[in-house]
Amino acid sequence: MAIQRSIPMQRIVSGKPIDTSEICFVTDESYTSKGEALIITKTLDMITIRLDSRTTDHIIIKSLTKTKILPINALIDEEYSEMNIGKGASVELYFSFGNWYVVSSDGIKEEGLY
């Protein structure tokens, strides 16, 4: 499949400049965050997004297909090792103090947290 990127931009993550894009459309089975502000998943039945805190400290994920969110070496809300969101859901996460925190979500059910 493919990864489509929008406007190139530079962000500072952990004091280091990261060359990235504002928006990324993901249609591959798996993708690791690279500092994007927004990732949109679509086309496949299931897509896995890995959150890399070395390049990303704030992200919004919009799913147009089922999406599994897996943090690399961290937990979500200090408790969960992964999050599954369904078609049409969105989630905003921040990385801080070694964990990812959900600060906003739409269409997520508690059974999607593991």
How many angstroms separate the CA atoms of 74 and 54, rounded?
Answer: 12
Predicted local distance difference test score (pLDDT) of residue 49:
98
- Burial label for 54, CB within 10 Å (0-12, 13-18, 19+), is middle
The answer to whether the beta carbons of residues 18 and 53 sit under 8 Å apart is no
Predicted local distance difference test score (pLDDT) of residue 56:
95
The answer to whether the beta carbons of residues 30 and 50 sit under 8 Å apart is yes
Task: Look up the domain containing 65 and give its range.
Answer: 3-112
What is the number of domains present in the chain? Answer: 1
Predicted local distance difference test score (pLDDT) of residue 2:
67
Predicted local distance difference test score (pLDDT) of residue 20:
83
CATH (domain of 61): 2.60.120
The answer to whether the beta carbons of residues 27 and 45 sit under 8 Å apart is no
Predicted local distance difference test score (pLDDT) of residue 16:
87
pLDDT tens digit at each of 114 positions of the chain: 567 677 777 888 888 888 888 899 999 999 999 999 999 999 999 999 999 999 999 999 999 999 999 999 999 999 999 999 999 999 999 999 999 999 998 877 655 555
